[in-house]
Structure 1
Amino acid sequence: MGKSKGITLVLVVILASSLFFNIYQLISNLELSEQKAALTVRQEMVNQLMHTKINVDNELAKLDKALTSACQKLSSLGLDGTQVRVVLSDLVDENALIINAATADDKDILIAVEPSSYNEIEGQDISDQEQNIWMHESMLPEMSNMIPLVEGFPGVVMVAPIFDTNNKFMGSLSIVILPSQLINQSIAQPPEGTKLYQMWAMQSNGTLIYDPDPNQQGKNLLTAPEYAEYPEVQAFTQKVADQQSGYSCYQYYDKPLDDDTKKVVTKEAYWMTVGVYGTEWRLVIWNILNP
């Protein structure tokens, strides 16, 4: 009988060990499966972010080329006149992202602006706009941050100096663009069957220049009162501002601010940098962790 109890005990131990091993294997397999799924998500995020970066950089390069080409034409045409306005109109007509194009004299007074719906701002002094200040210092093309425009709305200005045929500075050519429009149309579409991850973009000073939520567009993540109660958002924003690329996590709402069903979630995010003429934008892509 004692021998029978001993055998039974051994069998119980073997069964328990087998059950424990099976449970361990199941947990390990689940963990591996979760890790694999998380890795797949991150790879998809980085791919979408990288392709979007390429698209944005390409659009900025096209605008730079168009601006440079128009400056070369204006070098012999001057700052005003029928032919000058044709150059400005063509610049707008051939580039859907350009809101308007304008020449200014060497004192930054707007001379000619096209299309004609913006003629009313001719004669305005734009010498206090940052891109013009930078251009006079460098005598090279420059791009502003998001600034209030004489047109009456916020936007970004790309400006380049114009030199006459004797290589003497005579004025400048500027174009107005809306970064939200440029970025929105540049977001890379994922392969079929792959999730499209949400993105937002900011200047290096923390100001949102693109966000799917219109209530947050144009707000500064570091200084706007809406974010004061979310130190993780501000800490994340500062990290994005300080580093040209990276990965981190933060907590914030999962839906637009005006959605009553929104809730605070943990998000993982990658970011990269785009830009031209030394002015940088940060592109951020995010995904909810453990939804």
Structure 2
Amino acid sequence: MKSPVQTIVITITCLFIGVVIGSLMTPVNETDDAASYLIQLQSDITEDLQRLDTDLALAAYAFGEIGLEGETTREILLSLSQRHPAIIDCTTVSPDGIILAAEPPAYHTAEGVDVSHQQATRHILTTKRPMMSGIIPVAEGMEAVFIGAPVFSHGDGTTPEGQFIGFSSIVFHPDVFLEGIVRPVMADTPYTVTIVDTDGRVLYDTDPDQIGLPLDDPAYTPFPELIALVTRVTEERQGKGTYSFRGETKEAIWTTVGLHGEEWRVAVVRVVG
């Protein structure tokens, strides 16, 4: 005959096993699952943007000593351009908005181009503060995003210390940058990812055919629920909503990443009907 203590131990053990088995058989809440992926993407994108920004800031500091032109400057620009596969080129720009140097050599043709008319260029020349642009036409002959860092002289006898002498930039493809982050996180999951800027333009999508499309593109006109949700997304830094698109009902949760005041909305999406 079992003692009362043995009976209690057996009962507790059975209850524990039942709880464990029950937890294993209960499906993970899909909303919580999507949220965990979203948090991971937010962290990874932020980290990689900050890494680009730090690398550029260090280069800009060096240019404050050696200047915006010359062989050593080109060597630093070339090394910087090789830090990430999304980078198109790296440049130095004069206080008048003229590109002085661009690396790699394939983009030497951008040198001498006046970019002072661009709103993003005017912003950094006026504020003399670091910035990230939206997606814009660039001198390299395509649309891209750039991160800019002001350059201040270290003082060389002719230029006073602390004088603004121009800026340096990293010009990059946002879709390539984001693909390298999103793919390893979302591989083998039932979710898709859409990332838009605050104008509603698609910077990245699991469906490559949607990359680059603005919110008013004819491809979206037949789907007013989608347009309404993306409008919300551009206005709200985080949230959750549903919409219909191409015969499916989808649920999206989103949050925000950004750098120097430029914001991107990151959404994890799943089919719900």
TM-score range, shorter chain: 0.7 to 0.9
> Which of 117, 120, 142 lines up with 1:128 in the alignment?
117
For the Cα contact (< 8 Å) 1:48–1:188, is it kept in 2? Answer: no
Q: 2: distance between equivalents of 1:190 and 1:170?
A: 41
Q: Does structure 1 residue 186 correspond to structure 2 residue 181?
A: yes
Report the counterpart of residue 61 of structure 1 in structure 2: 50
What is the match of residue 208 of structure 1? 202
| Residue 231 (structure 2) pairs with residue 248 (structure 1) | no
What is the CA–CA distance in structure 1 between the aligned matches of 2:54 and 2:162, rounded to whole Å? 20
2:104 corresponds to which of 115, 138, 141: 115
* Aligned-residue offset at 1:131: 2.0
- Residue 74 of structure 2 is aligned to residue 85 of structure 1: yes
Letter in structure 2 aligned against 1:219: L
Distance 1:195 1:86 in 2: 42
Provide TM-score, normalisation by structure 2.
0.84
Larger radius of gyration between Structure 1 and Structure 2: 1
1:167 to 138, 162, 165: 162
SS of corresponding position for 2:146: strand
Give the share of equivalent positions with the same residue, in percent. Answer: 29
The AA in structure 2 aligned to 1:174 is S
- Show the counterpart of 2:250: 267
In the aligned structure 2, how far is the partner of 1:98 from the partner of 1:43?
34
Selected match of 1:279 from 249, 256, 262: 262
TM-score of the pair, normalised by structure 1 = 0.79
Query: How far 1:191 moved relative to its partner?
Result: 9.4
SS of 2:178's partner is: helix
**Distance change (3 Å), C-alpha of 1:287 and 1:65:** same
How many positions carry a matched residue from both structures?
244
1:96-111 matches, cutoff 5 A: 96-111=85-100
- The corresponding residue for 1:24 is none
* SS, match of residue 215 in structure 1: helix
- What is the deviation of 1:212? 2.4
Deviation digits for residues 89-123 of structure 1, max 9, x if unmatched?
A: 11112333322100011101001100001001100
3-state SS of 2:231 partner: helix
TM-align CA RMSD: 2.0
Rounded Cα–Cα distance in structure 2 between residues aligned with 1:190 and 1:73:
35
Determine if contact 2:41/2:185 at 8 Å carries over to the other structure: no
**Residues 243 and 37 of structure 1, relative CA distance in 2, 3 Å threshold:** farther
Secondary structure at 1:202's aligned position in 2?
Answer: strand
What do residues 67-98 of structure 1 show as CA deviations (whole Å, max 9, x unaligned)? 10000100011111111101101111233332
